[in-house]
Structure 1
Amino acid sequence: MLVKSEFDIQFHLSVPTPMMAMLHLHPSLEPQVRAGNELAVEHIDLETKANIPVSEYRDVFGNRCTRFVARAGAIRLSGTSVVEMEGLADPINAHAKQVPVENLPSEVLQYLLASRYCEVDKFGPISQDLFGWMTPGWTKASAIRDWVHEKVMFNYKTARPTKTAMDVFTERIGVCRDYQHLAITLSRCQNIPARYVTGYLGDIRWPYSGPGDFSAWYQVFLDGRWMTMDARHNEPRIGRVLMAAGRDAADVAITTSFGNAVLTNFYVDSYEVLEDGTTVPTLPGTIAQEPVVTSANRGSAGAVQGLAE
């Protein structure tokens, strides 16, 4: 199966502004890329456009990142990719075993600790009461995912960039990333390493839900490898395309501007195509699509702001 993903994101800047972007596919997918996976950064006006020089680096989590200084005015970040995938739904690893903490790889230990949005230190008794009695491994991990899915109500109007796992637990309402933060936190409290993921999740062989967007889910470390979990869309899905992974949403913002950047255009889509490039039609559906985490602004006072999924 071939999945084509594309984006066109535009900002208006009042002054030249340093920015970072995390818009390439995850390095682990490079062997599967059939076309594209490049990021174009342009300064645009009514008649002309000019490329903005960029440089790349890998962050501490292994994500592919881009940095640049955008000129004042309108800028566009755009790109496409075509990835070959197996076309299988998220696997159910019912017999996956939990790895004792003392046997975890050292690089995985950080995914047991508290992070910006995941207050593990506040959830110990809560998590123990809810899940401490359950069989370790997939049984417990999937129970945490399903509990969050059932207890939290989705409402994109409640999105805010400061919302933590404890806020979600208390308010019982949130958006895509909030579901994942709560599930990640409860998992870590049960010594299940969990990390936050961003990527594409199009309506591939799934009822159409409206205009596309980036998505968020999470992964748990069982049987010595990372396995997909999604507390918002907790049914097995086809066509997840990984972009970045980190401790929580703070580590994997799609764009970060070190100054004010006004979002003026946002287009994202991910869909199945045939070998000749023909788009495979989606199934009919009426479910509204939610917005997702796309950016973070750091103003002159250092305040972190952003859009939330």
Structure 2
Amino acid sequence: MRIRAGFNLTYECPQPIPMLLVLEIHPSRRVDLLTEQVIGFDRPLEARGYIDAFGNACTRIEAPAGRTIISTNFEIYDTGKSDVIVPDAVQHDIKELPDDVLRFLLGSRYCDTDRLGDFAWANFGDTTPGWGRVQAICNFVHDHIAFSYQAADPMRTAYGALTDRTGVCRDFAHLAISLCRCMNIPARYCTGYLGDIGVPPAQDPMDFSAWFQAYLSGHWFVFDARHNRPRIGRILMATGCDATDVAISTSFGASRLAGFEVVTEEVQAVNCKSLWEVRCITIDQ
């Protein structure tokens, strides 16, 4: 499967502002690129890339005063297979966890586990440890929260998602991650592209998506409490403890997101053939 993805983001800054961007695909997916992914700017500015502590590809810039458009457009290969389901994946004892996984048991900015521990054990303590327990958490979060772009709140934590019972994909992820951590299951936040591939198209404009991974049987497995079903064509951008670590942009000063467009779609083979036929006709003429 061939997927076309990209974005156009417009920022307005009253003065030059240092910014941190997390807009590249995850280094683990670079091998699948069919075209180069380059983060472009409509104005001259210096950009420097680096890999952060979570293994994400990040970019540092100083956005000039005024309006700046940041964009990219690329195509990537995908197997076309849906998210893996492993019902017999087991939950590890904490003493068995690798050192670098332990951080994903701790509370974080949006995953306020200290407020959810009693609730988690009261509701999921009798579930089967491992895959079954994570799936039970996903089922609960999926049924408990009503998705609504109008209800988006950048200050809402996992506890807030539990009490408000509304939110966007990041709220589903934060609540599910927090409940997993309360049950001693390492869980980390994921952000990336998820197009309407293999499912009926959504009515809402395309956006970046949030899901999470749980550490079971020595592997990180994908779970998605918002959709709560295996999906096709995820393109991972970044992972972290919560949305703080993978924000598409962090501004160290005043800035405003004035334009936002994301594209994620399958490139149909018939379209490729049509383009080839047009090219042949043009050459013949």
Q: TM-score, normalised by structure 1?
A: 0.85
- Where does residue 31 of structure 1 map in the other structure? 31
Alignment of 1:18 onto 2:18: yes
Counting matched residue pairs gives 273
| 1:157 corresponds to 2:138 | no
Give percent identity, aligned residues only.
Answer: 44
Q: How does 1:113-152 map to 2 (within 5 A)?
A: 113-152=106-145
Q: Please name the residue that 1:3 is paired with.
A: 3
- Which structure shows the higher helix fraction? 2
Q: Deviations over 1:92-149 (max 9, x none)?
A: 1111111211111110000000000111122221111101111110000100011110
Corresponding residue for residue 162 of structure 2 = 169
Answering whether residue 69 of structure 2 is matched by residue 72 of structure 1, we say no
Per the alignment, residue 251 of structure 2 pairs with 257
Q: In 2, are the aligned partners of 1:42 and 1:52 still within 8 Å (CA)?
A: no
Contact 1:22 1:254 in 2 (8 A): yes
| Amino acid in the other structure paired with 1:255 | S
Pairs within 5 Å for 1:39-54? 39-43=39-43, 51-54=44-47
- CA deviation after TM superposition for structure 1 residue 276, in Å: 8.5
CA distance in 2, matches of 1:102, 1:9: 44
Alignment match, 2:282: none
Q: Aligned to 1:36, what secondary structure does the other structure show?
A: coil
Larger mean CA deviation between 236-245 and 265-274 belongs to 265-274
Q: CA deviation at 1:205?
A: 2.0
Instruction: Decide whether aligned partners of structure 1 residues 279 and 145 sit closer, same or farther in structure 2, where only a CA change above 3 A counts.
Output: farther
Residue 220 of structure 1 aligns with an amino acid whose one-letter code is A
- Structure 2 counterparts to residues 76-225 of structure 1, below 5 A: 76-210=69-203, 211-225=205-219
The RMSD of aligned alpha carbons is: 1.6
Unaligned runs of 5+ in 1: 44-50, 281-309
Partner Cα distance (1:53, 1:275) in 2: 38
Flag structure 2 segments of 5+ consecutive residues without an equivalent: 275-285
Counterpart for residue 272 of structure 1? 266
Offset, 1:41 = 2.2
Q: Is the 8 A contact 1:123 1:189 kept in 2?
A: yes
**Segments of 4+ moved more than 6 angstroms:** none
- Alpha-carbon separation, structure 2, partners of 1:263 and 1:122: 32
- In the alignment, the residues of structure 2 paired with residue 269 and residue 232 of structure 1 have an alpha-carbon distance, to the nearest angstrom, of 20
Distance 1:125 1:41 in 2: 48
Measure the CA separation in 1 of the matches of 2:120 and 2:37.
Answer: 40
Alpha-carbon distance in 1 for matches of 2:234, 2:216: 19
| Larger-gyration structure (1/2) | 2
User: For residues 189 and 233 of structure 2, what CA distance do their matches in structure 1 show?
Assistant: 18
2:241 aligns with one of 244, 247, 259:
247
> What do the CA deviations read for 1:122-181 (whole angstroms, capped 9, x no partner)?
222111110111111000010001111011112222221111111111121211111111
Shift of 1:274: 4.5
Q: 1:42 Cα deviation (Å)? A: 2.7
Which of structures 1 and 2 has the larger relative contact order (alpha carbons within 8 angstroms, sep 6+)?
Answer: 2
- 1 CA distance for matches of 2:270 and 2:254? 42
Residues 26 and 243 of structure 1 are in contact (CA less than 8 Å); yes or no, is this contact kept in structure 2?
Answer: yes
Q: Which amino acid aligns with 1:6?
A: G
Distance 1:134 1:91, change over 3 A: same
Q: Which has the larger strand fraction?
A: 1
Contact 1:17 1:69 in 2 (8 A): yes
In the TM superposition, what are the counterparts of 1:285-304 in structure 2 within 5 Å?
none
Alpha-carbon separation, structure 1, partners of 2:159 and 2:138: 16
Q: Which moved more, 1:239-248 or 1:167-176?
A: 167-176
C-alpha distance in structure 1 between counterparts of 2:117 and 2:257, whole Å = 39
Asked if 2 retains the 8 angstrom alpha-carbon contact of 1:169 and 1:182, the reply is yes
How far is 1:80 from its partner? Answer: 1.4
Q: TM-score, normalised by structure 2?
A: 0.92
